Amino acid sequence: MNLNKTTDYVLLKAVDKSEECVADKKLYETKTSKCGKEIYFVLDRNSKRLDFPRIADYLKRFSETSKKNLNVCLDSFVSFIKEAGQTFDMILTVVSSISFYEKPTFSLKTKKEPVYDINYLINEDHIDLFNEVVVIKEAQHFCRTLQDMPSNFLYPTEFTKRVKELFSDVKDKVNIVEFDKARIKQEKMNLLLAVNAGSIREPRFMYIEYKNNPESDEYYGYVGKGITFDAGGMNIKTANHMRWMKFDMSGAATVVSTLYALAKNNVKTNVVAVVCLTENLVSPTSVRPDDVIISHSGKTVEIDNTDAEGRLVLADGLSFAARNLKVTKLVDVATLTGAMLYALGDTYTGVWSTCTCQWKTFEEIAYKSGEYVWRLPLHEDFLKPLESNIADIANSVSDPRAGSSRAACFLKEFTNDLPYIHLDIAITADVKHIGHGTMVRTLYNYAKNQNFN
């Protein structure tokens, strides 16, 4: 990647739909000039509101199908902004999308895959914004690298090792704490231990504190699901459903990558990233259906289905963040329920929120970050099927109705009544079997705007 370098690459620039050179194209489509030296991306200068998620989507599609060295005229995109504050939003959207296929994330192919050079052209007045965006882009790339790694290369201890290596250049800005299995037992995170019971690899619990706004009483807890491989446990998955379960740690990758970008850019905010890491495998020692586990919060949980493991590890993570770290708001990120495939496909990330005002803020920030989100309901009716005869709550039930919302309601029971947002990225985390670093940009901006929430 280069900035304002003189090259003979093809130039990508945004043009208005009224321009004669794109008269035969629709919004967000691209067209190559007759001479082949320019590629036009169609926008509408008269639109009332810029659709950043749509711009991001189409630019990513373009970068997937047109892999080549490029000059990208960021100034042409910035010229379409409606408000001064949108300059950053546009630069973030364009850079993160165009660079998506710039280089491979993780690959063990014997033949090296090509790396594409992208040269950004931008006014000197926007260099600081561009530099901030580059850090976010690199953090998102790290997230995707972790996602794409196979589980025999990335397991709990390797995950924490790589994260600590990432934070080596900002270690003076953060406090990193890692619990081994013995300490996890000491902290009574028995749901995390129960999921780990079938694996020969130890679990890990990690939190990374970043407190850089002493003027604010707010302290966000970003909690990520970190199942480095999910075979389903005793309720073992069928072959088709077990494929791609290396991505089940995407929530954990998202929150640590977001925190790194915040620290690297010295953003004035207070956030802690919490990750619960384990494999969920089947063995003679695995947790079984009908077992009852005492959670970190003290609530007892009856195991109905060992393949509903993500909510178990998150429950302990949420409880620890609320009780031990004293956060003021909770956001969790998880590849939680396959039911999201039917609800929102791979377009929208599902969001559940205990506060409408908080949801509206989050929705607007996600929109400006170029990511689609959609709110689904938290309702007491979804908890009724989880009633247990012998425990406070069951972790699942054999009922296909409202499965994603039922999982969200289960998690809410472990939030200590704090304001809470749950993000289900089960289908948006990895599309076409590659990690997408979903929600890194949104969570970065949500923390960045902490004073305004």
Catalytic positions, please?
237, 311
* Helices within 224-355 (DSSP H only): 239-242, 250-264, 310-323, 340-343
Cα separation, 226 vs 63, whole angstroms? 29
In the beta sheet, which residues pair with residue 434? 431
For residue 80, the SS3 value is coil
* Helices within 239-308 (DSSP H only): 239-242, 250-264
Largest interatomic CA distance in the chain: 74
Q: How far apart are the first and last CA of the chain?
A: 35
For residue 40, the SS3 value is strand
Residue 111 DSSP class: S
Cα angle value 451/358/255 (rounded, 5°): 75
Angle of the 156-166 helix axis to the 127-148 helix axis, nearest 10: 160
Please answer whether residues 4 and 125 qualify as being in contact, where contact means their C-beta atoms are separated by less than 8 angstroms: no
Cα separation, 338 vs 335, whole angstroms? 8
* Helices within 344-420 (DSSP H only): 356-368, 403-412
For residue 159, the SS3 value is helix
Tokens of 404: 């994603």
Nearest to 279 by CA among 154, 419, 425: 154
Structural Rg of the chain based on CA atoms: 22
Nearest to 293 by CA among 307, 303, 306: 303
Cα separation, 447 vs 453, whole angstroms? 9
